[in-house]
Amino acid sequence: MTPSEASQLAADGVVVVYSITDRESFRYAQRVLDLLNGVRGLPVTLMANKADLAHLRTVEHCEGRALADGAGASFYEVSVAEDSAGLYQAFELLVGECHAQLCTNNNNNNNGLGDKAGSRTRKFSVTKMLGTLIGAAKGSSPPPSPPSGTAAASGQGTVIVCQKSDLYRTGVLKRRHKTSASASL
């Protein structure tokens, strides 16, 4: 993996695998984790494979653990050949981390850009008298009650929760040429 590949990585999570019998694969894993360190919020799991070949071991368990800790990654020593439980545990944990990260990203988007893109609910305060006038302009009947949960009335006036576009459509707000908006209340 090159630095530019790491920066353009479109992944929800990454599993880096080395063999405990192959020190070169461990060095490669070190380089990859270094590169992934720059990718913020990416769940990473370091997996040391071939745990069943302990007699051929060239990379100690503590070395793998230290590497993972330093990189903020989860660490598992597993044996694909022996179908070890750690293998399933590692993937389950990683999927959970990916899911949590996606939720965090979605929340951040909704609190930022999402607000600009979506239709925003705005509150416009209208005095009782003006509310009556708006009703009179449409006919002689009083203004219709807004749908339940969208308005709160009090003796001081009426607060109507509505979309700004509805106010333009009904003529309560008027657009001026080359200016943002003006209220006709």
Ligand X SMILES: Nc1nc2c(ncn2[C@@H]2O[C@H](COP(=O)(O)OP(=O)(O)OP(=O)(O)O)[C@@H](O)[C@H]2O)c(=O)[nH]1
**Residues at the site binding ligand X, with contacts judged by CB under 6 A:** 49-50, 52-53, 79-81
- CA dist 98 and 132 (Å) reads 54
Cβ proximity to ligand X, 56 vs 153, nearer residue: 56
Closest CB 6 distance from ligand X, rounded Å: 19
Q: Crossing angle, helix 61-71 and helix 23-36, to 10 degrees?
A: 10
Residue type present at position 146? P
| Cβ-based nearer residue to ligand X, 57 or 65 | 57
Taking the least distance from each CB to ligand X, the nearer of 79 and 101 is 79
At closest approach, how far in Å is the CB of 115 from ligand X?
A: 46
Asked whether the beta carbons of 117 and 133 are under 8 A apart, the reply is no
CB of 94 to ligand X, least distance (A): 18
- Cα 56 to Cα 4, 23, 80, 103: the distances in Å are 35, 11, 16, 42
Q: Which is nearer to ligand X, 16 or 42 (CB)?
A: 16
- Which residue's CB comes closest to ligand X? 81
Task: Give min distance, CB of 28 to ligand X, in A.
Answer: 10
Beta-bridge mates of residue 121 = 163
What are the phi and psi torsion angles at 77 (to 5°)? Answer: -100, 125
Of 26 and 158, which has the nearer Cβ to ligand X?
Answer: 26
Tell me the closest approach of the beta carbon of residue 90 to ligand X, in angstroms: 13
Pairing of the two strands 44-49 and 74-77: parallel
DSSP code at position 148 = T
Residues 49 and 18: their CA atoms lie apart, in Å, by 6
